[in-house]
Amino acid sequence: MSIELRHLRYFIAVAEELHFGRAADRLHISQPPLSQQIQSLEEQINAKLLERNNRNVSLTPAGVMFLKEAYQILSQVEAAATKAARMERGELGELSIGFTSTTPFMNRVTMSLRQYRESYPEVAIHMHQMNTKQQIPPLLTGRIDIGIMRNTILPSQLDYQLLFKEPFMVAVYEGHPLLKYEKTGVDIRLLADYPLVFFEREVGTALYDEIMNLLTSAGVTPKISQEAGEAMTILGLVSAGMGISIITESFTRMKIDGIKYINFSNINASSEVWLVYNTHRALPSSAKKLTELLITNIVDNKKK
């Protein structure tokens, strides 16, 4: 059986007009080919759909049933075509995003996600919190479409777009001796004299490496007094007087009583935030839309 959509459209036109001539005019074809197509359709489905004589055309019981089904089939095809077009435009579908624990505190990222959600409410967004290195395997397998992470070594299948750079800062508790450098900035070498609250190595992998390299380059051997897995916990421990911490600018969006943030005076170090994707996999249109929005917002932010 090789019924085509045109057979259904031809039949519907005849069934609605109950006249082959008017149906042919409506379809912009001549009457003989239309009659042949209807006859071919009836032969293929092995059922008489129309009663016809020199004066009248009417639907048989099988024709009445087939007309209802034909309407439904064409409606489903049109709906499928509309959905496919909307998916191509990134208006429908799913989007899986990997993100680090500090991503929710990056204003430019959260603003873009909020705008994306408002613009494309029918895209199902799946957020997966993972540290930078944990995002690499699911990016390779396609479990996540894009990853928002810190700079790290990537396998050849992955590439990145630099979103922005975050300067490093020092978090101290209220009344700490280093607060005398709040206006001028603190020399990183002075941190060697104070206990440090730090990420657990397996949790904040990229940030851990960056900060350790930063201290090592300055000749500082850190005195790690406490380790924690969450940014909020680290700042809570700092507030409790358990030590100081080196953080990035996005941390300062966390409003915790008893915490002060100080810039460095003698270094201009920053942590890069990347948007990472798999070059060997086609990026869904939904992911392309979010990528464009992120880049646009960051470029506009730089212009301000």
Question: Domains of the chain, with CATH numbers?
Answer: 5-89 (1.10.10.10), 94-303 (3.40.190.290)
Q: Token pair for residue 60? A: 């048989």
Q: Token pair for residue 87? A: 């998916």
User: Would you state the pLDDT for residue 304?
Assistant: 47
Distance CA 253, CA 106 (A): 8
* The model's pTM: 0.75
Residue with the two structure tokens 């810190």: 150
- Check residue 193 and report its DSSP letter: G
The SS3 of residue 240 is: coil
CB-CB contact of 100 with 199 (8 Å): no
CA dihedral 126, 130, 132, 133 (to 10 degrees): -110
Type of residue numbered 61: P
The SS3 of residue 101 is: coil
Distance CA 198, CA 224 (A): 7
Distance CA 296, CA 257 (A): 34
The set of residues, in sequence order, having a beta carbon less than 8 Å from that of 232 and lying 6+ positions away, is 254, 256
User: Would you state the pLDDT for residue 229?
Assistant: 76
33, 36, 44: which is closest to 4 by C-alpha? 44
CB-CB contact of 132 with 149 (8 Å): yes
Distance of CA 36 to the CA centre of its chain: 52
Summary count for the chain: helices (H), strands (E): 9, 11
Distance CA 273, CA 294 (A): 12
The set of residues, in sequence order, having a beta carbon less than 8 Å from that of 110 and lying 6+ positions away, is 103, 104
Low-confidence ranges of the chain (pLDDT < 50): 303-304
